[in-house]
A and B are shown apart, each in its own frame.
Chain A
Amino acid sequence: METFLYYLFCAMCLCGGLGVIILRGYVNTAMSMLVSMLGVAGLMFLMQAYFVAILMVSVYAGAVLVLFIFVVMLMGDTTDGVNIWKKLALLALWVAAGCLVGWFAPEMVEGLRSSGPSAGTSVLAEAKNYGTALFTEFMLPFQIVGLLLLAAMVGVIAIAKPFTVRNRNNDMD
Chain B
Amino acid sequence: MEGLNQFLFPALMLFATGLMGAMFKRNLITIFMSIELMLCGAMLAMLAFASEFNDMAGGVFVFFILTIAAAEVAVGLAIITQLFKVENTVSTKGMNTLGD
Q: Which residues on A are within 8 Å of B, measured CB to CB?
A: 6, 9-10, 13-14, 17-18, 20-21, 26, 29-30, 33, 36-37, 39-40, 43-44, 46-49, 51-52, 55-56, 59-60, 63-64, 67-68, 70-72, 74-75, 122-124, 129-130, 132-134, 137-138, 141-142, 145, 148-149, 152-153, 155-156, 159-160, 163
Q: Report chain A residues within 8 Å CB of B30.
A: 20-21, 29
Q: Which of B25-75 contact A (CB under 8 A)?
A: 25, 29-30, 32-34, 36-37, 40, 43-44, 47-48, 50-51, 54-60, 62-64, 66-75
Which of A37, A59, A133, A149 is close to B59, meaning CB atoms less than 8 Å apart?
A133
Complex CA gap A153/B10 in Å reads 32
Q: Which residues on B are within 8 Å of A, measured CB to CB?
A: 6-7, 9-10, 13-14, 17-18, 20-21, 24-25, 29-30, 32-34, 36-37, 40, 43-44, 47-48, 50-51, 54-60, 62-64, 66-75, 77-82, 84-86, 90
Complex CA gap A6/B6 in Å reads 9
Q: Return B85 CB to nearest CB of chain A, in Å.
A: 5
CB-CB nearest in chain B for A17: B17
Q: Return B7 CB to nearest CB of chain A, in Å.
A: 6
Are the C-beta atoms of A49 and B14 separated by less than 8 Å?
no
